[in-house]
Amino acid sequence: MKIGIASDHKGYKMKEKIKKYLSKKGIEYVDYGTDSTLNVDYVDYALSLCKGVLDKQVDNGILICGTGIGMSIVANKVKGIMCAKVDDANEAKLAKEHNHANVISFSANHFLFTAKDIVDAYLDAGPLDLERYNRRIDKIKNIEKMKKY
């Protein structure tokens, strides 16, 4: 398993801690930036990570910013990315199992133990291959073909 990880300036310190945690667990990762706490545009780093997921450089992605919201919005604009903004381990697990999320996003403001729990739950989970979940995922993937509301 290889994980992509990216952050903006507000998520940089948490990203560095999560990278150490992944290394300690023997999980390979690719860091898509940023590399400091200097003010940057989160859009650039979210897109870079999403490209890595789509190009199969990494299996899944983790985005970290001030709230997790901005990066999740960007990621979900990329065709083929299913990003869930998560706040706890249960949401991370369900995002992968029920929604087949290939990217998660969370706030840098979590305590480190919570962030580690989120990462563990996400990486330990797998997409459930049940008809009801697959049906819903297919609808999401084909949403542009649906009538406009």
The strand pair at 2-7 and 28-31 is best described as parallel
Q: At what angle do helices 89-97 and 112-124 cross, to 10 degrees?
A: 20
Torsion of CA 88, 52, 82, 33, to 10 degrees: 40
What are 18's two structure tokens?
A: 């999560």
Please tell me whether residue 109 adopts helix, strand or coil conformation. Answer: coil
Q: Domain locations in the chain?
A: 2-145
Tracing tokens 């962030």 back to the chain, one arrives at 115
The residues carrying an active-site annotation are 65, 98
Cα distance between residue 141 and residue 2, in whole Å: 24
pTM of the model: 0.95
H and E: helices and strands count for the chain: 6, 5
Domain 2-145 sits in CATH 3.40.640.10 = no
- Per-residue confidence (pLDDT) for residue 108, from 0 to 100: 98
Is residue 47 pLDDT above 70, yes or no? Answer: yes
Q: Tokens 């990621």 — which residue?
A: 75
- CA–CA separation, 102 and 140 (whole Å): 14
5-35 per-position pLDDT tens digit = 999 999 999 999 999 999 999 999 999 999 9
